[in-house]
A and B are shown apart, each in its own frame.
Chain A
Amino acid sequence: MSSKQIQGLMIGFYIFLFFLYLFAPLIMMGMAAFNDVEFPQVVPWEGFTTRWFPELFEDALMIEGFVNSIWIGLGVVFVSVPIGLAAAIMMTQVYERFRTLYYTVVVSPVLMPGVILGISTLVFWDRLGTFADAEYESFYYSGMFLTIVGQSTFISAYTMLIFLARLQRFDRTQEEAALDLGATHVQVFWKILMPFLRPAIFSAMGLAFLTSFENYNTTVFTIQAESTLTTVLAGKVRMGTKPDLAALAVLIIAVTLVGAIAMEVARRREMAKAEAAREEAKRAEEAADMALAGAPAQ
């Protein structure tokens, strides 16, 4: 075999190893979910079973954590999407000189370790609560509230980036045209800008929710006495658990796959629609040309 062929084989082998490394844990999880053993493992294999799936739904701790995670996720979407949008719009209007500084400041939460965000949020609101002489039950100390705030701190940066990307392609003359036709600024915002940003809004909402749902480092500090799905999972993993955890992993993978396929299908449909519109325009153009050619010259 030539050296080129050997090289090719080596590269192929490496890629195979790499993807094996990448998918091995998932395959393990998948298998552990169906192993009829009290503890999550793949060997020894005691037999195939699906009983962990219904057991998963009976786990009160996990259900509670799951529900909290949903609420927090929704809260984060509600906070970080409007903030991200505002920050993106500001970015396009800020003076050139300040732009890098502004950008550095708003992107910094992304670069900071999540534990730092969690700690700083916790400490800050705790102090605020003390000085407002707030009761123990008030929102200053609430795990849910603090988690929403702490997560939104860096998730807003993500949503901002999504909106920024979409805004770059926005034709500002549309805003001017709308104003010129008599719209108020608020009308321009809702009728012109928002419809344009719709795909970005959905992406941002999706990203915000998913990022919030699976967050651990920040949440573990802000959630305090309450729980989210990730903190419950972490607790179980350290203390000992049944394979229903693996069942959860399988479910997540399945949902993700379905979601990814659905998105791809939607994407293909959008492209097809745009293509059809282009064809229509071409035909109209040709029809117009022919009409003109037939008409008497100016």
Chain B
Amino acid sequence: MSEFLSLFLPVFLAALLAILLAPVAQRHAAGFWGVVGRIRFVQRNGIVISTYLIVAVIAWVVFMIVLPQVYMLDFSFRNNLFPAEIGGPKDVYTLSNYEYLLFGRPGDEEMFNWLHLTVFLRTIIASIFVTLLNFAICYPIAYYMGQVAKGGYGRMMILALILPFWVNEILRAFAFRILFGTSGVINAVLLTLGLTDQPIDFLRADVALYAGLSYAYILLMVFPLYNAIESLDHNQVEAARDLGSPWWRIHWRVVMPHAKPGIASGCTLVFMLAAGALAAPQILGGPSSLWFTQIIYDWFNTGGNWPQGSAYAIVLLLACLVFVLTVMRVFKVSLGEIAK
């Protein structure tokens, strides 16, 4: 793979150079450039612009999107070698990085790598929980904005929603620390009100983390929901109410089915961001709520084992992929609808 790339790069650069010199050559040539000039894309955009378009898009798609991912995948199957050892006898493809996640080191007493596996599972389950919590919080607001609040009032609400998110996520997470810490505001309130006699360690109980994570992604859940709900003709709700339907049934059978793409979109986004979150767990996580991304971070930082980290990253990516596909199947929506 890497050998191929080191051959490809100079060829690519040469081609790039040729294309850039084309306008000069075109004045004197017929042959090749005549043919290029007849390609409809080039005719429509002119040679200079065509070059710019093609180079930019290829640079992006190939060199920034596709190749790095392919590379990371390749890397995850390799051993962790010193630069000198690359290309040498130890540079073979191996499944050892993935095996490590499942089985741990070869000399361990336990058969499975329970530590990492539990972290992984907990991350996924917690992310699902956060997604549901987030949904429960945001749905009423999205409904209110989309169906009840009219015109200017609704716009104001949107503005009010966006404002907190201009603050950096790190600072926001930190603010939650202030709120939930043992000497934080909530504890102070509870103590003064006499509801408890000892400060509750919210951090240890993961409450802070969940609250913080739900908070972080409110925008991403509200807006898809809001867009989907807003497009619902309010008359349908009125009709259902007219027919004597209780409010919960109205939502279950009328509003939510209509908002399905929005729900799928919001849930997918929130899940992927929660599972892939790094700052919030680092700041708000107690000792028992290690997040999978933190393990990955450690592999790259202190562990110095990039292939191992890559393998873990691939596993995370796969989990997200599975989630997206499941949501798409369950909600019967297509990728295009979510991506909006």
Contact = CB atoms under 8 A, between A and B. Distances in A.
A22 B277 CA distance: 19
A124 B52 contact: no
Interface stretch (A25-33, A48-56, A200-208, A283-291): A25-33
B238 interface: no
B164 interface: yes
- Interface of chain B: mostly helix, strand, loop or mixed: helix
Given A18-B137, A41-B183, A220-B278, A111 B53 contact: no
A188 B293 CA distance: 48
Interface string A131-166: 110000000000000000100110010000000000
A7 B241 CA distance: 15
Contacts of A116: 69, 72, 276, 313, 316-317
Interface stretch (B25-33, B60-68, B99-107, B225-233): B60-68
A234 B166 contact: no
B184 interface: yes
B164 A25 contact: yes
A197 interface: no
B339 A238 contact: no
A23 B157 CA distance: 13
Contacts of A22: 160-161, 164, 215, 218
A106 B60 contact: yes
B104 to A, nearest CB: 22
Contacts of A57: none
A238 B320 contact: no
A87 B56 CA distance: 8
B168 interface: yes
Contacts of B46: 184-186, 188-189
B170 A25 contact: no
Interface of A: 7, 11, 14-15, 18-19, 21-26, 28-29, 32, 40-44, 82-83, 85-87, 89-90, 93, 100, 103-109, 111-117, 119-124, 126-128, 130-132, 149, 152-153, 156, 184-186, 188-189, 214, 216-217, 220-221, 229-230, 233-234, 237-238, 245, 248-249, 252-253, 256-257, 260
Interface of B: 2-3, 5-6, 9, 41, 44-49, 52-53, 56-57, 59-61, 64-69, 71-72, 75, 83, 86, 137, 140-141, 144, 159-161, 163-164, 166-179, 181, 183-185, 188, 215, 218, 247, 268-269, 272-273, 275-279, 282-283, 293, 296-297, 300, 306, 309-310, 313, 316-317, 320, 324, 335-336, 339
28 contacts: A7-B247, A18-B137, A83-B59, A83-B60, A85-B56, A93-B44, A104-B339, A106-B61, A111-B268, A112-B320, A116-B72, A117-B68, A120-B69, A122-B306, A123-B75, A127-B75, A130-B83, A131-B6, A188-B46, A214-B168, A220-B297, A233-B168, A233-B171, A234-B170, A237-B170, A249-B175, A256-B163, A257-B163
